[in-house]
Structures are given as structure tokens and as C-alpha cells.
């Protein structure tokens, strides 16, 4: 595990960010870094990026105006933000959008220890066939208003968006980020561990029908003896201590809630232990109780992901970041290393803590599509795992919990949606989505070989998912 890293060097990708203080050059470095992945001449990219205004390369990438970059912050402000968010009583605020987290969510290594996810080999070149018409793709929000991709960028807090189809980038736009910025993914990180678990399951090393406590022995003798691993995977345990479905809806802000108490332990450390309980994670989880039968309601809970990731690490006897690198990040021709945030005790925070660049996260999404062969020379995610993700057996529970109910409002033309293996929305056509609580998202359409990634600093309620589905459906016509 590494100490917090402020240098942000990617020397293996041929890129070195010289301090992030000259923000015009940050954008320039973004273009130059893209040169390695796009086959551009870095000098030409640099010259283009140094022009004023909204910047687009000849490939049609739309770069952020320098004054809009989240890193366009003077040193005094950087130090103020760092001191504020690192104070235990303010730790809770790092999960919500603000002027401070606009900076923090692309600089999370200032606030947490990190574990690197290493890349390897040549950078995979993404083809560029920019389709300006994507900017005019329209959709209706839940209030019945019609927006386009362009108007979405003009009116809502979106940081960046990329659309890749058949291995070619059709749209790439940055509003507050440079291409080299590594953005906090929040819960989009969850599907890294669930995919690793699916591989271990395929290899016969994990039986998801066994109780969680068979793999996480600290929980033996508790209610977790009655929870199958697959129920945790599908956010359907029926236990209390949920993230969004408690009666008062304050799990992430009330220090007396089970979820907050778990998040404040040294095994997580994302919230401050403001009541100085000094609890162990397993004591908090052992206090949980059954509230309803499994698979009755889709009740979102990062605690489920936490026990899943401990299972994955223990069965493989390898930290999550190393497994993810070995199976994915080192095989897909990434431009940069990524990193996970880590807990004070060294646990990898796979339920929220992956921080990649926009393009590299799109490359990861391509691992679930036929274009995987263009990047890795093989289909990285086999059909057997896709079949598990696309299984809609328990769709009837989806709209009964907070997250499912809220997401269904974004898809009035899709009355049947499911969740599965930590993916938050699975559609009958085989497409699936993972969300981050702060407005991050990964949309994968294996049948149309399309991936859409969006990164935001928001409260996660805006309809980027509706927009992504509209884009995918428009491109498939």
C-alpha cells in the first residue's frame, strides 16, 4: 500500500504531470497524453491545447476551458480544502458535491492512502470516428422536459462523457477535467470486485450459495450465517443497516446508524469516528439483524460489497488491486495506472475507491463487449459471466427499495429492470449500468458493442443514465 501520492506520475505511459499548477498546461498534457493512446503527435496536441476557449483536437475531442478545470485552484485553496476534509468531523462531507469536492474528487490521493492498479504493455489505440450528431441526441427527463447531450452539458454538473462503439470513440467531451485526471468513481468501483468474484466462481474457487460467514470467519455465529454470498452480491440480504432504506434515511450522516458505525471503523475509515467508539468492523456487522427474507427487496448496501471483497481477497490470497490489475488493467492497454483508496488498516476500499481516467474506465467497460478482443487480444469477460449479470430472475424486487425505485423514474419506457452481481440496472435487451452516488456511471451494451462513461460532481439524481440509454439506442438504429 502506498502513502498518499501527490506527484501523479505515469512514467510507464510516457507521461509525467509536472505539478498540476499551470492549468493551461494541464489541459495540454491531457491532449499530449492522449497522443500516446490516439496515435497523435504530442507536439501538435500540445499546440492545440494551448489555444484559448473550448478546445477540440482534429479528432473532435472537446476539451475543457482551462478556467473551468477542477484543478484550477491556487495553493492556498488546495491546503484549505485538504485540511477541512481531513478533519474527522468534516469527513462525512467528502461524499457530497460541493466546491471542495469538485477538487477532491479528482484528487482523492490527497485524502486517503492508495493502492496502485498497474498497467502494462503497449497502450491500446482507440480509433476515432467522432460523430458530432451525438451532441444533438435528445431524451426526456423525469419531468417530461426534452434535453440534448449538448444542453445537458450546458445546464447540468457533468465533468466528462465518452461514447465508444465497435472500439471507436464517437464522442469525448470534458467540462471540468483534463484527460489525465483520475476521477473518483464511488460505487462504480463495486463491479470490479464482483467481476473478480465471478471469475473465482467460474474457476470453482467460490460457491456463491454458501453463507458469507464461511468465507468471512469473523462473522460466524451471527446473522451472516443465514446470508448466502449471492444474496450479498445481489443486494438482497434482507438485513438491517442498509445504506438508503432505513426509516430515517440518514445512514450516511448519523453516527448512531449501523452503516455509519461501520464506515467509521479503521477497516473503512471513510467517515470520522466522531463518537470515539473505536469499534471493530466485525463487531458492527455482527450486530446486524434480519428484517425480511432474502430477495424480497433490492436494498442497496456497501457493507455487502465489503464482505464480498474480503472474500475475493482471502480466496485469492491477493489484494484486490493486484487481482484487478492482473485480470484487467494490465491487459487492456491502459494509458495510466489507476488506484484504489485504502482504509487505515490497509483494506482496499473496493466498494467506492477506484480512481481512473475517463478513457481508461471506458477501456475497462469494453472488456464486457466484443471490442475486448481489439484491446486484449481475447474476450476478457466470458459469456458465462455475462449470462449471470443479465439474469433477470429477481426483477420483481427491483422497484421496492430506494435505489431501484429512483432509477425506474429515469426509464419510463422500461417497466422491467433488474439488478445483479452489483450492477444496478439490467434491462431485458441485455444492457446494464453501474452507478456512483456522486453522478458517475458506466453503461454497457454487449449486443451493440457500445460503452458510455460519464463522470460528474453532483448528487447523482440527474439523468445521465437516461441520456446514455438514448445515445445507445440512437446509435443502434
Provide the pLDDT for residue 10: 37
Do the beta carbons of residue 10 and residue 32 sit within 8 Å?
no
pLDDT tens figures, 272-324: 999 999 999 999 999 999 999 999 999 999 999 999 999 999 999 999 999 99
Provide the pLDDT for residue 294: 98
- Please, which residues have CB within 8 angstroms of residue 247's CB and are 6 or more apart in sequence? none
The pTM assigned to this predicted structure is 0.89
Mean pLDDT of 372-390: 97
Report the distance separating Cα 274 and Cα 261, nearest Å: 10
Closest CA relative to residue 266, chosen from 342, 190, 350, 353 = 342
Q: Report the chain's mean pLDDT, rounded to a whole number.
A: 89
Provide the pLDDT for residue 16: 29
Closest CA relative to residue 171, chosen from 442, 375, 430, 450 = 450
- 98, pLDDT greater than 60: yes
The β-bridge relationship of strands 158-165 and 423-426 is unpaired
**C-alpha cell belonging to residue 430:** 441485455
Q: Residue 59 — pLDDT band, cuts 50, 70, 90?
A: confident
Rg for the chain (alpha carbons), in Å? 21
pLDDT tens figures, 449-459: 999 999 999 99
Provide the pLDDT for residue 36: 36
Can you spell out the DSSP letters for 426-477?
E-TTS-EEEEETTTEEEEEETTTTEEEEEEE-S-S-S-HHHHHHHHHHHHT-
Mean pLDDT of 417-429: 98
Mean pLDDT of 353-368: 98
- 87, pLDDT greater than 50: yes
Q: Residue 35 — pLDDT band, cuts 50, 70, 90?
A: very low
- 34, pLDDT greater than 70: no
Whole-number Cα distances in Å, 404 to 204, 223, 290: 31, 25, 21
Provide the pLDDT for residue 190: 98
pLDDT tens figures, 178-221: 999 999 999 999 999 999 999 999 999 999 999 999 999 999 99
Least confident range from 4-8, 148-152, 343-347: namely: 4-8
Provide the pLDDT for residue 9: 35
- 151, pLDDT greater than 50: yes
Q: Residue 39 — pLDDT band, cuts 50, 70, 90?
A: very low
Amino acid at each position: 500500500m502506498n502513502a498518499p501520492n501527490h506527484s501523479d506520475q505515469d512514467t510507464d505511459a510516457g507521461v509525467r504531470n509536472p505539478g498540476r499548477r499551470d492549468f493551461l498546461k494541464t489541459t495540454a498534457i491531457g491532449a499530449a497524453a492522449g497522443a500516446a493512446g490516439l496515435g497523435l503527435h504530442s507536439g501538435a496536441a500540445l499546440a492545440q491545447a494551448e489555444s484559448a476557449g473550448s478546445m477540440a483536437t482534429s479528432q473532435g475531442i472537446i476539451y475543457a476551458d482551462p478556467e473551468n478545470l477542477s484543478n484550477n485552484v491556487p495553493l492556498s485553496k488546495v491546503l484549505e480544502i485538504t485540511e477541512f476534509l481531513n478533519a474527522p468531523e468534516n469527513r462525512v462531507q467528502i461524499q457530497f458535491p460541493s466546491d471542495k469536492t469538485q477538487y477532491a474528487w479528482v484528487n482523492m490521493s490527497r485524502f486517503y492512502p492508495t493502492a496502485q492498479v498497474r498497467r502494462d504493455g503497449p497502450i491500446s489505440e482507440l480509433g476515432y470516428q467522432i460523430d458530432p450528431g451525438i451532441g444533438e441526441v435528445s431524451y426526456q427527463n423525469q419531468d417530461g422536459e426534452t434535453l440534448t447531450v449538448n444542453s445537458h452539458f450546458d445546464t447540468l454538473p457533468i465533468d466528462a462523457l465518452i461514447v465508444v462503439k465497435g472500439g471507436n470513440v464517437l464522442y469525448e467531451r470534458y467540462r471540468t477535467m483534463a484527460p489525465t485526471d483520475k476521477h473518483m468513481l464511488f460505487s462504480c468501483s463495486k463491479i470490479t470486485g464482483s467481476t473478480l468474484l465471478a471469475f473465482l466462481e467460474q474457476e470453482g474457487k467460490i460457491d456463491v450459495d454458501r453463507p458469507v460467514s464461511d468465507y468471512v470467519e469473523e462473522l460466524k455465529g451471527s446473522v451472516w450465517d443465514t446470508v448466502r454470498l449471492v444474496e450479498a452480491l445481489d443486494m438482497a440480504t434482507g438485513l438491517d443497516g442498509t445504506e438508503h432504506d432505513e426509516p430515517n434515511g440518514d445512514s450516511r450522516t448519523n453516527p448512531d446508524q449501523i452503516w455509519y458505525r461501520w464506515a467509521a471503523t479503521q477497516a473503512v475509515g471513510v467517515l470520522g469516528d466522531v463518537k470515539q467508539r473505536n469499534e471493530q468492523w466485525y463487531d458492527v456487522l455482527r450486530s446486524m439483524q434480519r428484517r425480511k427474507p432474502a430477495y424480497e427487496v433490492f436494498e442497496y448496501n456497501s457493507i455487502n460489497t465489503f464482505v464480498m471483497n474480503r472474500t475475493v481477497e482471502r480466496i485469492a490470497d491477493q489484494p484486490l488491486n493486484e487481482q484487478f490489475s492482473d485480470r484487467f488493467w494490465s491487459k487492456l492497454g491502459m494509458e495510466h495506472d489507476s488506484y484504489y483508496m485504502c482504509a487505515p488498516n490497509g483494506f482496499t476500499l473496493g466498494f467506492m475507491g477506484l480512481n481512473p481516467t475517463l478513457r481508461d474506465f471506458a477501456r475497462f467497460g469494453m472488456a464486457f463487449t466484443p471490442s475486448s478482443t481489439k484491446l486484449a487480444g481475447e474476450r476478457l469477460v466470458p459469456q458465462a459471466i455475462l449470462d449471470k449479470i443479465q439474469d433477470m430472475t429477481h426483477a420483481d424486487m427491483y422497484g421496492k427499495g430506494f435505489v431501484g425505485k429512483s432509477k425506474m423514474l429515469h426509464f419510463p419506457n422500461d417497466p422491467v429492470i433488474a439488478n445483479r452481481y452489483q450492477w444496478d440496472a439490467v434491462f431485458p435487451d441485455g444492457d446494464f449500468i453501474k452507478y456512483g452516488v456522486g453522478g458517475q456511471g458506466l453503461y454497457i451494451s454487449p449486443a451493440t458493442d457500445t460503452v458510455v462513461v460519464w463522470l460528474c460532481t453532483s448528487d447523482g439524481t440527474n439523468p445521465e443514465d437516461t441520456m446514455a440509454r438514448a445515445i445507445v439506442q440512437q446509435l443502434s438504429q
